[in-house]
C-alpha cells in the first residue's frame, strides 16, 4: 500500500538530485549510450510530477518509477560525474572528495519514495532493494577502468545505504540502532571474549606474515562489509523480525538474522567463486553472525560488530589461499567457532543477561 499526497513541493535535496541525474544523462548521451536517456527520463518524470499537478494515477506510476529506478540511477549518475572529474583533473584522488559528496545522495529517495510505504513487507523489500548499492561492481557505477573504482564504490555504496537506511528506520518508527544501552552492563566479561575471537582470526590470517599485503583498497572493501552488511543484518532485519515473532523473540531474531547473513554470501557465486569455498563462506558468515548479534544486543553498540566484521573480513582477505580449496582444518576451525557461538548464545540469552538483551531488542524495534 502506498501513502501519497496529491502534491508535494520538491525539496532542495530533490532538486539537486534531479540536477545530477540530468547532467549525468547529458554526459552519457554525448557518449552514445542509452543509459543517458534512461537517467534523463527518470529525472524528467520526477521533476514534472513535483512541479505540476498530474492525476493521482500518474503520481502513483511516477512513485513506482522513482522507487525502483533511483537507487541504481543515482549510483550511475554519481559515478559518471565522478569519472568526468577524474578526466578533467587527471587525478583519481578526486574520487575521495566525490565519495564524501555522495553520502547524502539517497536521502531524498528514502524520505520521498521509500518512506511513505506502509506495508512492513514492502518496507523490508525497499531496504533490500537499496542494498544493491554496496554489492554492485564498479561497472554499475560507470567507474570501470579506474584503479580506485572497485573498492571506493563498495564503500560509498555502503555509506549511502547506511545513511538512507538509518533515515528510513527512524521514519518508520523503529528505534535508533546505535546506542540501545542505558548503562554499561556486560562490558566486564566481553573484552576477553572479543579478544579470543580476534586472536582466532589473526591466526587464520597468518599474522603478521601476510600483513605486508595490506592495501587501502582492501581496507575500504572490509569497511564496506562492516558498515553495510552489519547495518542490514544486525540492525534493520532484526528490527523487522522482532515485530513479526510472537514467541522466542530474542533467540529467534538472532538465529534468523544470522542465517540470512550467511545466505547473503551466496551472491559470491555470481562472481565466479567456487561452490566449495562459497559453502564454507556461507557457514562461516552464519556462525560469525551469531557472535556479532550477541555482542550487539548485549552491549547495544552497533559500532562493535561493525568493527569486528570489518576486521575479520580483512584478516580473511589476507589469509593464505583465501579464495581456493577448503580443507579439513578450515572446517575444524569452523566447528570450534560454532561451539563457541552456541555456548555464548546459551549463556547470554538466559537470566539477567537475556532480559538485558531483550530490552535492547525492544528498543531497536521501537516498541
DSSP 49-112: HHHS---HHHHHHHHHHHHHHHHHHHHHHHHHHHHHHHHHH--TTHHHHHHHHHTTTTHHIIII
Distance CA 282, CA 111 (A): 34
Q: Is 3 contained in some domain?
A: no
- From the list 22, 29, 153, the residue with the least C-alpha distance to 99 is 153
Grid cell listed for 80: 559518471
Taking the C-alpha atoms of residue 331 and residue 325, their distance in angstroms, rounded to an integer, is: 11
Predicted confidence at residue 6, as pLDDT, reads: 36
Residue 278 lies in a domain: yes
Do 109 and 220 reside in the same domain of the chain? no
Closest CA to 221 of 156, 301, 294: 156
Low-confidence ranges of the chain (pLDDT < 50): 1-9, 322
> How does DSSP classify residue 32?
T
129-157 pLDDT, tens digit each: 999 888 887 777 877 777 777 778 888 89
The domain in which residue 349 lies consists of 190-365
Dihedral sign of CA atoms 356, 362, 363, 367 in order = negative
Residue 5 maps to a domain:
no
Residues 23 and 167 in one domain: yes
pLDDT digit string (tens) for 5-64?
Answer: 433 445 566 666 777 777 777 777 777 777 777 888 888 887 777 777 778 888 888 888
185 within some domain: no
Task: Give the global pTM.
Answer: 0.87
The reply to whether 117 and 36 lie within a common domain is: yes
Amino acid at each position: 500500500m502506498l501513502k501519497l499526497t496529491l502534491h508535494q513541493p520538491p525539496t532542495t535535496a530533490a532538486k539537486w538530485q534531479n540536477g545530477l541525474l540530468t547532467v549525468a544523462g547529458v554526459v552519457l548521451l554525448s557518449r552514445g549510450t542509452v543509459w543517458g536517456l534512461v537517467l534523463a527520463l527518470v529525472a524528467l518524470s520526477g521533476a514534472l510530477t513535483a512541479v505540476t499537478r498530474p492525476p493521482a494515477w500518474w503520481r502513483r506510476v511516477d512513485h513506482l518509477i522513482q522507487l525502483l529506478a533511483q537507487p541504481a540511477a543515482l549510483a550511475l549518475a554519481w559515478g559518471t560525474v565522478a569519472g568526468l572529474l577524474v578526466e578533467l583533473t587527471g587525478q583519481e584522488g578526486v574520487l575521495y572528495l566525490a565519495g564524501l559528496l555522495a553520502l547524502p545522495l539517497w536521502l531524498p529517495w528514502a524520505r520521498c519514495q521509500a518512506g511513505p510505504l506502509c506495508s512492513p513487507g514492502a518496507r523490508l523489500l525497499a531496504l533490500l532493494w537499496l542494498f544493491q548499492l554496496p554489492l554492485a561492481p564498479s561497472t554499475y557505477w560507470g567507474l570501470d577502468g579506474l584503479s580506485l573504482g572497485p573498492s571506493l564504490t563498495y564503500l560509498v555504496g555502503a555509506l549511502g545505504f547506511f545513511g538512507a537506511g538509518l533515515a528510513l528506520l527512524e521514519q518508520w518508527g523503529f528505534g535508533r540502532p546505535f546506542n540501545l544501552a542505558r548503562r554499561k552492563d556486560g562490558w566486564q566479561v566481553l573484552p576477553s571474549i572479543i579478544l579470543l575471537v580476534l586472536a582466532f582470526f589473526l591466526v587464520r590470517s597468518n599474522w603478521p606474515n601476510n600483513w605486508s599485503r595490506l592495501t587501502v583498497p582492501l581496507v575500504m572493501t572490509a569497511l564496506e562489509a562492516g558498515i553495510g552488511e552489519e547495518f542490514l543484518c544486525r540492525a534493520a532485519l532484526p528490527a523487522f523480525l522482532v515485530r513479526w515473532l510472537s514467541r522466542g523473540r530474542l533467540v529467534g531474531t538472532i538465529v534468523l538474522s544470522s542465517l540470512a547473513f550467511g545466505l547473503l554470501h551466496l551472491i559470491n557465486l555470481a562472481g565466479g567463486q567456487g561452490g566449495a569455498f562459497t559453502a564454507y563462506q556461507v557457514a562461516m558468515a552464519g556462525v560469525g553472525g551469531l557472535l556479532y548479534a550477541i555482542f550487539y544486543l548485549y552491549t547495544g553498540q552497533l559500532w562493535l560488530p561493525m568493527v569486528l566484521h570489518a576486521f575479520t573480513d580483512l584478516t580473511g582477505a589476507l589469509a593464505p589461499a583465501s579464495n581456493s580449496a577448503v580443507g579439513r582444518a578450515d572446517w575444524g576451525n569452523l566447528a570450534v567457532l560454532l561451539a563457541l557461538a552456541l555456548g555464548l548464545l546459551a549463556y547470554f540469552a538466559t537470566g539477567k543477561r537475556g532480559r538485558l538483551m531483550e530490552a535492547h531488542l525492544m528498543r531497536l524495534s521501537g516498541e
